[in-house]
Structure 1
């Protein structure tokens, strides 16, 4: 399987000193220019943000989650509404995770075997069976542009034997996903696993790449492993992925890690960090996290970030945002969430411009070393 007719991916610029590249991923609902950060809308909503506001952040592609949408409202209701795009009012490209991450995050309420995973619903305790075939059927009804293969994401730490079993299952489940996936207007991406074991990562990259799918993702990072281990995996696996396909690093959305990943050939990123931080009163500014609850902002009437085009920065002061957060007003959480998403989208767009202009290595590889120059973008 290669690119279905509505899909294609072109590399439009390269960095001569790193593996960084710009690209354009064509989908039935529009183009995604890469590198690109993708906001997470787990339940067909990016928390607290309307789709009009989301478009204003510069976001192009949004994620939703198979497992959680299966629980509420149910995939048939979404399908009856005309699919996920119409259901949530987002008309740009969309991607659905398969539920594989919930195999990791909800390990206290599930049982895994070679056939699939049995969950106890966190809502009512009902038995839920998720298999590769079921994950594909749900995602086809949801109707996102990209469906992720069902995989087993091992925890950290885990023994080599445990990770080897999870990786073997991921490959077996990928074959079953391919066999059962039938939607011609939906691209299926495979996922590389292997934990922190280099030989398992190498073998997984080889197996998943051999399936010749429209895109390839790397999972099992940012699951509790030390930062240096994540960086090592990114460096190793980035060099093993098929050049002509979009490369998606799952669950990563910090500036340093995105810059490192782009330098090693990754194109797409997602993370819940921007809205999670916003809900807790924190803002991303120049690569730092600012707690707007702090008293130092009480009398500060300057914008949060003069260079940022988001509503929080264009229309309000740090003092006002501090007031909203201290008062526990919903508006404060919404404004900071919008700001944080805008920051990550702007950062990925700035990397793309730097690649096109031939200065990515000079401007963004300092992020890899976390040097002072990293905070000048």
Structure 2
């Protein structure tokens, strides 16, 4: 699978099948081969790229089986794009054992020309005991091993019920398949157990092969799409569009409404200005079923379009925050998500500002990084000064009084930012100066935060302008760029010297370039982080232990990258697991010889899995020196 844009674990990507590419995230509508009333043209007009149908239903219906074996599943359901076939696992869960075995149903799917073939896995229910779920996990893996996975795209469902360790184990084992559905979740979706789903999705995603599509089986309601995509789901399937239509329910992105209780269809609906709800109620059942299904599918794909746009503009996390207030079960799921450590997969910064609502925002990934750094920043035992809002006005130049105190002492300086205190040197670094705040502060939270700081460093006191030394012992600007460097590269070392020349913008006074001997070491970006030059990469390569902040490539690739060309995944031989997407990296060989500098497109934990696409967007190659 190729990835184009990402935000955390969410991505816009491309997955190739024999009948065409699928751009993710997307939804596969469930097509019942016995009830196929939407044409391929109607489906594609809504945004459908691929569909899913059930090979078990086809095989057990003699007329369908005969036609599928003769003409193929694409002719059978009249769809010329990618088709995934399910195996009958869900029917087995609902009705008991089915009459076909795993190998038999997999071979049948191959014979009828399915693009994505699903093994007959063992459905794990939320109420299953640990031993039952464990047995199902291992039996599902055994069934994957007993089929030929080389000649087709094989879907190997990740099972494990609600047990985190079993989901982890299943994800690792089933990564041998080329397509990774998360199974056994329909009962949780139907009972709004979204918090359990968050745990299942995260444990499945971060322990599986990142290069392979992740599919949430049965996750067809748009209310939970954004959460699922944010946590790494690429593809959904949905029968809800027709199930709701049969019950005269009208689907919207935030829920459903009864056809008899709505006044009109929304403007985006294919039924708008064509039918009124009253007219549709009076229509014959076949007409009503088709038209409501079209509306419901449109609602589903409206949400997918919005999610893709949010990924592109880096506001999906914010969108999920907004969605979390739509239903108590979603809010509970949001809180559960915040309990997981997904910081390693999140970008260094985002294109969009960060929204501050209240003290709950402090569970945000970017602020948690700031708080973690603040802890290490004051752990040196030096006296620490707290500067309140009135003394330090964020968004304006730091006052000359504070600068004088700072430069004539070696104290730690923390400034108040919303409800917490952070290092003054990070005044322009994302998300500090890129935040839009509600202004709703929690003094109780501030008090508890200060107490937490004092538990780390007991020499904390409030700042006043009389605190200063006799002479300057450091420069604020130089200490600032070294602090940003330490925050960005997770190191205790300094990169910059006091003799380095800092170029500032005449218009804003912000730092632009840092030079040494007329050579640019780094440029400060608009988000307050540093972009390295190749000269800066050489300096960094000498002070940071190997393999920290490095992507190691083959010699052939290194020669190519040294000329300033990008690094492709397939040439990577190793990397630092702690690399953040969007952060600066050095491109070296396995011995640490530098080829280029650039920024990583994915995290270090993901980088070893991908085979297609660009891993590092190179700024400069060593040949430029």
Match of 2:16 among 14, 18, 26: 26
**C-alpha displacement of 1:214:** 2.2
In structure 2, runs of 5+ residues without a counterpart are: 331-625
Change (3 A) 1:352 1:359: same
Q: Does 1:345 align with 2:301?
A: yes
**C-alpha displacement of 1:220:** 0.7
Match of 1:315 among 274, 285, 290: 274
**C-alpha displacement of 1:286:** 4.0
Match of 1:156 among 116, 126, 142: 126
2: CA distance, partners of 1:52 / 1:314: 21
Partner of 1:57: 46
Equivalent residue runs for 1:32-181 within 5 Å: 32-43=22-33, 45-46=35-36, 48-72=37-61, 73-81=63-71, 83-107=72-96, 110=97, 119=98, 128=99, 130-177=100-147, 179=148
Counterpart secondary structure, 2:108: helix
Contact 1:45 1:88 in 2 (8 A): no
Cα deviation 1:117-143 (Å, max 9, x = unaligned): xx3xxxxxxxx2x22210111101221
Query: TM-score, with normalisation over the residues of structure 2?
Result: 0.50
Partner of 1:221: 185
Partner of 1:122: none
Contact 2:246 2:289 in 1 (8 A): yes
Partner of 1:235: 202
Change (3 A) 1:162 1:371: closer
Contact 2:223 2:255 in 1 (8 A): no
Change (3 A) 1:93 1:336: same
Query: TM-score, with normalisation over the residues of structure 1?
Result: 0.80
Contact 1:98 1:149 in 2 (8 A): yes
Counterpart secondary structure, 1:155: coil
**C-alpha displacement of 1:354:** 1.5
Counterpart secondary structure, 1:158: coil
Q: Does 1:201 align with 2:193?
A: no
2: CA distance, partners of 1:283 / 1:345: 14
Partner of 1:123: none
**C-alpha displacement of 1:152:** 0.5
2: CA distance, partners of 1:35 / 1:161: 34
**C-alpha displacement of 1:313:** 2.5
Cα deviation 1:161-213 (Å, max 9, x = unaligned): 11111111101111112x3x56x3x311211100011111111111112x1x3
Root mean square deviation of aligned Cα: 2.1
Q: Which moved more, 1:274-283 or 1:67-76?
A: 67-76
Change (3 A) 1:371 1:64: closer
Change (3 A) 1:247 1:368: farther
Matched positions, count:
325
The ranges of structure 1 where at least 4 consecutive aligned residues each deviate by more than 4 angstroms after the TM superposition are: none
Partner of 2:239: 272
Contact 1:241 1:247 in 2 (8 A): no
Q: Does 1:334 align with 2:290?
A: yes
Counterpart secondary structure, 2:31: coil
Change (3 A) 1:260 1:286: closer
Contact 2:253 2:300 in 1 (8 A): no
Q: Highest Rg: 1 or 2? A: 2
Partner of 2:602: none
In structure 1, runs of 5+ residues without a counterpart are: 1-8, 111-118, 120-127
2: CA distance, partners of 1:172 / 1:165: 11
Contact 1:259 1:365 in 2 (8 A): no
Partner of 2:156: 190
